[in-house]
Structure 1
Amino acid sequence: MPTSFIWQTPTWPGMHYDAISVGTELARAHRAQGVVEGKLTSIGFEQRLELAAEAWSQEAVATAAIEGERIDLTAVRSSVARRLGVGNQEGPNAPRSVEGLLDIMDDAVLQRDAPLTHERLCAWQAALFPTGYSGMSRILVGAYREHAEPMQIVSGHVGRERVHYEAPSSARVPSEMQVFLEWFNAITEHDSLVKAALAHLWFETIHPFEDGNGRIGRVIVDLVLARESGEVSRLIRTSQRLLERRNDYYQQLERAQHGQLDVTEWVLWFVEQVRVSCEEASVAVDAALAKAVFWTSHQDKALTTRQRKVVNLLLDAGPKGFEGGMSTRKYESIGSTSRATASRELIELEEMGLLGKVGAGRSTRYYLNIPGWGPADVVVAKLPASS
């Protein structure tokens, strides 16, 4: 038998939190949101779309990975590119289930002002499981769970399972969801980030579907953020942050579901993750701005197709993103060329001022000539004086 401590479902929506304790972190998170929105005004529409496409792609992969599902980032990127009309739209098609995930993520942003209803949630869940199967198991799709057995969140090997939480009985789900939806759609006194935290916790506690609750619960977070920030919210990679802190994420949910109505610790933790996601989005916008300035300053340089490919690769990697810098050997491999050609073209890029270098001989490494994007001792070749 599984070892467990079955928690009683809290009486929602009687949950509460310490507004003073949460207030400081809320202020920091909203400042971080404002910084992202302010920086976005400095870049072009096409660049904003590119940033949104990459963030959305990474979010889809991350929310699936939290549930232990691996999906192909390349296929996701091409699907997102087609949806937004930007980037490489000729890539592979994503499986129907992945397209369904992108559909519901898109719906949360584009239809952010529409009410959240039983029908909408059931449509979201059905989109995740177009075949009616979760793995090898047949599940009920497009409807709340109906099975008589308790819905339990379990970990561990067969015979040694640990039950972390037992959700309300299936018979209670419709009434529990009705109360949740009335609260969610009503105007409340809660700050938007607090509402996202409470909504996610509450939905996961009810666990209304046979499968897909985690992904849908995180799309509900997307919906709340989109209602505040519109399409800018696509840049806030909350699921990627939750994946990075996956163990903490599960532990924090578990503690909050313990039956106590004071959920201050959960709200504080959740708002902190949103703040960090905003700060990371700000770094991504900075990188996009740096790329734009870089190409503007070098628009008069005649580069080979291979040189442009390598420079774009370094730019896409971002600050400190291309580990160890660019070497002749790496250039040779990436550009499918000879060692001599690789060495010559790297030297040309340095002489034109696109790259700086560190070291000498076999230890020579090249970095983009962008302040802060390489080691402090990067040296850039001096351009010849104009006559």
Structure 2
Amino acid sequence: MTAQTPRPRYIWQHPAWPQLTFDSTALASALDQARLEQGRLLGLLGAIGLDEANAVQRELWVQEALATAAIEGEQLNLESLRSSVAHRLSLADAPGADRSVEGLVQVMGDALANHHAALDLDRLCRWQSALFPGGTSGITRIAVGRLREHLDAMQIVSGALGREVVHYEAPASVQVASEMDRLLAWFEHTRPAAGAAAMNGIVRAALVHLWFESIHPFEDGNGRLGRALADMALAQDMHARDTQANPALVQVYGMAHQMLKTRAGYYDALNRAQRLRGIAPEARTLDVTAWVLWFVESFGQACIASQAVVRDATNKAQFRQRAAQCQTNERQRKVLERLLEAGHVGSGGGFLGGMTTDKYAKITGTSKATATRDLADLLIRGLLRVEGVGKATRYAVNVPGWEQPPIKG
């Protein structure tokens, strides 16, 4: 009696792998909407001043780096990250001191700034090495700067010890080199060119991310590298559509941040795409339309979220211009800037509890009487608005549409 061959479970076990397919008609509406939101975002960014654009780009890049690490459960040092991003954008002289943070920023920057350069295995290995400058992931030693070589199965697992759930198993290490050769050849062959009838760039970004994650070629860092590859594909798409566009603006799209916000949905969509469906062999296909649709819709949502960030930057710039026309003193300018930087509820911020006379006096180091006069003056000038009366009096920066956190008490 011969043993039965195990039923294929994952897409790389399909006879037609890696010929991923998708239904263009089913994607058409979502792609049109994604392009519309992309255009709106870039239009908003192009309409604000250079200083504001640089500030938006820097902050969104920081948020992207935080998000792509957080998806893997890693928390980065914010101060070091901001320094590294500012250095990468030529807004600061020196990078941050944290080597792992700087390594991630370098990977993200190289994927965008050098999107035109050929993507080969050596480059990917250098990216992975940059993520783990000490040769460890946590306290565990891992292979850095080379493909995984271990004989154990590469599995994506969750759950307590002894009750683990295997979500996905990647190809054996011995297959990885040849798998990567095919992926890199495809990525180069499908590179978009200006005016050429090529694959939609957002779809291509979705496919390269899925394909790379399905191979899972390194011992660690695959998620961050896979998202960098998607960003690189988007940068190539942006350049093909507008040769004057700055590829670094890809970080403004906020795709990693959107993935983090919907992390469960992200992992679920990816896991579903990596598994073969259907019992009968003839029913199992490499159709990944559902994954691509998830990616495209997430891209559109990411652009909408980033539009709000750009609008906030525009509101801040307009407020600062209005405030500059008023003869405010140094104390007032300091408090107004503190309130502006705190943001509002819609942006996930807001000055907690509102500004009070006591808080104003403490922030500026002045007397309560002076604080009262300063706040009354700002109120008359229309730079602040007031809520409540008596001891419940609170002041908020007067930016149209900005909602502040509710007053507790």
Q: Do both proteins adopt the same fold according to a TM-score greater than 0.5, normalized to the shorter chain?
A: yes
Counterpart code for 1:254: N
Which of 236, 240, 243 matches 2:257?
A: 240
Q: Residue 385 of structure 2 contacts residue 395 of structure 2 at CA under 8 Å; is this kept in 1?
A: yes
Shift of 1:80: 1.5
Which of 8, 11, 20 matches 1:9?
A: 11
Q: Residue 356 of structure 1 contacts residue 369 of structure 1 at CA under 8 Å; is this kept in 2?
A: yes
Match status 1:66 vs 2:77: no
Counterpart code for 2:9: W
**Unmatched runs of 5 consecutive residues or more in structure 1:** 376-387
- Tell me: CA distance 1:43–1:162, structure 2 relative to 1, closer, same or farther (3 Å): same
**Unmatched runs of 5 consecutive residues or more in structure 2:** 1-6, 192-197, 239-246, 277-284, 405-409
- The 5 A counterparts of 1:131-150 are 131-150=134-153
User: Partner of 2:324: helix, strand, or coil?
Assistant: coil
Counterpart code for 2:374: E
Corresponding residue number in structure 2 for 1:250 = 267
- The 5 A counterparts of 1:1-387 are 7-10=9-12, 11-86=16-91, 89=92, 93-187=96-190, 189-229=198-238, 230-259=247-276, 260-320=285-345, 321-322=349-350, 323-374=352-403
Q: Distance in 2 between matches of 1:76 and 1:120?
A: 23
Shift of 1:228: 2.6
- Tell me: CA distance 1:261–1:299, structure 2 relative to 1, closer, same or farther (3 Å): same
Q: Distance in 2 between matches of 1:329 and 1:7?
A: 64
State the TM-score, normalizing by the size of structure 1. 0.89
Q: Residue 235 of structure 2 contacts residue 248 of structure 2 at CA under 8 Å; is this kept in 1?
A: yes
Q: CA RMSD in A?
A: 2.1
Question: How many equivalent residue pairs?
Answer: 369
Corresponding residue number in structure 2 for 1:378 = none
- Tell me: CA distance 1:273–1:324, structure 2 relative to 1, closer, same or farther (3 Å): farther
Q: Distance in 1 between matches of 2:11 and 2:153?
A: 13
Q: Distance in 2 between matches of 1:356 and 1:90?
A: 39
Q: Distance in 2 between matches of 1:98 and 1:174?
A: 28
Q: Distance in 1 between matches of 2:374 and 2:90?
A: 34
Q: Residue 80 of structure 2 contacts residue 101 of structure 2 at CA under 8 Å; is this kept in 1?
A: no
Identity of aligned residues (%): 47
Stretch of structure 1 that moved more, 155-164 or 288-297 = 288-297
Q: Distance in 1 between matches of 2:104 and 2:377?
A: 46
Q: Distance in 2 between matches of 1:341 and 1:91?
A: 41
Corresponding residue number in structure 1 for 2:4 = none
Counterpart code for 1:364: T
User: Partner of 1:154: helix, strand, or coil?
Assistant: strand
Q: Distance in 2 between matches of 1:55 and 1:288?
A: 12
- Tell me: CA distance 1:186–1:331, structure 2 relative to 1, closer, same or farther (3 Å): farther
Q: Distance in 2 between matches of 1:103 and 1:153?
A: 27
Q: Distance in 1 between matches of 2:180 and 2:95?
A: 38
Per-residue CA distance 1:236-294 (angstroms, 9 max, x = gap): 11111111111111111111100341111111111111111111111111111122222
Q: Distance in 1 between matches of 2:142 and 2:362?
A: 47
Shift of 1:132: 0.8
Counterpart code for 1:9: I
Q: Distance in 1 between matches of 2:9 and 2:155?
A: 11
